[in-house]
Chains A and B, each alone.
Chain A
Amino acid sequence: MSTAQWLLMFHITAAFFLVGGSIAAGVLNVLSQRAARPSETALFLRLIRTVLPVIAIGSIGTLVFGLWLVHELHFDFWSFWILAAIVLWLLAGALGGAGGKHQERARVLAERLAAQGDTPDDELRTILRDPRGNAMSWLAGLATLLLLVDMIWKPGA
């Protein structure tokens, strides 16, 4: 295998970590919103934390091995598809982080409610259904999807 093939293998492996981890986090987030009791909501939101290292490794790996590939294959760094990928990568990270803070706020409240009788609560329901907080996570997912489209389509290459 050539150096470029090794780099591509690691780049794609990182992409599987990033997208797979994000999908797993999305599944657990949806489950937390549909849970009947605060203790269940808190449990699903806690489980999201276990996939965060997978997303982090994928996020850093895609960027490092992607830029290394650009250098190795002598691609034009200023090509539209490469710049678009970097912008989408930054967007996905920023939006995902903001969505994560919203989930953390919901988890803290859910933990407290679970310890105080574990009955359904309007405040928790409002946070879980907050359109702005949820939009951050969904837009992070959309940015990740567009990143995948960009990597396969390579507009302007």
Chain B
Amino acid sequence: MTLLGYSRPFWPLFLHVLGAMTLVGAMLAVFVLTIAAWKRPEVAVLRRAAFRTLLILAIPAWIVMRVGAQLIYSKEFGSGGHDPDWVGIGFIVADAGLLVLLVTSGVAFWWERAGSTIAGRVVGALTGIYLVMLAFAWLAMSGKWS
């Protein structure tokens, strides 16, 4: 019965899942914008849109996802015992992901200001890498890998 999340607290899990899915959606939008900008580097509105999506949507979504994760962890795994592998994978991806997200946002800021093609390609590559990391985390956590 615990497989589908019965008897788990609603709000922490809801916040965690909603934050994670919003983060994936924001990164997917940024990825699409960077691919479009790759073909049309002269269109400044794509650079601005990518940076603002990271700032207004992706970073707040990461915060909601991480706060939800910590609340669930405190309630279900906070006794100091050995955590399952999928919990560890989730935390590693979440915390390393923040670094990737902040670096991506920094490069996107540079891209928006300077219009550098290289910066746009770095944003696209980092966004793609982060999407793969997020997919790995949701597969591990939903499949309860151990």
Contact = CB atoms under 8 A, between A and B. Distances in A.
Tell me whether A and B are bound partners: yes
Interface of A: 1, 4-6, 8-9, 11-13, 15-16, 19-24, 26-28, 31, 35-36, 40, 43-44, 47, 50-51, 54, 69, 73, 145, 148-149, 152-154, 157
Contact of A13 (B13, B26, B138, B145): B138
Interface stretch (B27-35, B77-85, B98-106): B27-35
Given A13-B138, A35-B45, A19 B25 contact: yes
A5 B142 CA distance: 8
Do most interface residues of chain B lie in helix, strand or loop, or is the interface mixed? Answer: helix
B56 to A, nearest CB: 9
Nearest to B141: A12
Contacts of A69: 4
Interface residues of B, number: 35
B120 to A, nearest CB: 15
B3 A4 contact: yes
Interface of B: 3-6, 10, 13-14, 17-18, 20-22, 24-26, 28-29, 32-33, 35-36, 40, 43, 45-46, 49, 53, 57, 135, 138-139, 142-145
B32 A19 contact: no
Contacts of B20: 16
Contacts of A44: 49
Contact of B29 (A27, A43, A157): A27
Contact of A43 (B28, B36, B139): B36
Given A23-B29, A27-B53, A43-B36, A1 B3 contact: no
Given A24-B29, A47-B32, A54-B28, A16 B21 contact: yes
A3 to B, nearest CB: 11
A5 B36 CA distance: 37
A21 B142 contact: no
A5 B14 contact: no
B81 to A, nearest CB: 22
A71 to B, nearest CB: 14
Given A5-B3, A8-B143, A27-B53, A152 B14 contact: yes
Contacts of B53: 27
Contacts of B14: 148-149, 152-153
B67 to A, nearest CB: 16
B9 to A, nearest CB: 10
B17 A148 contact: yes
Contact of B6 (A1, A27, A36, A157): A157
A20 B24 CA distance: 5
B42 to A, nearest CB: 12
A20 B22 CA distance: 6
Contacts of A50: 32, 35
B138 A16 contact: yes
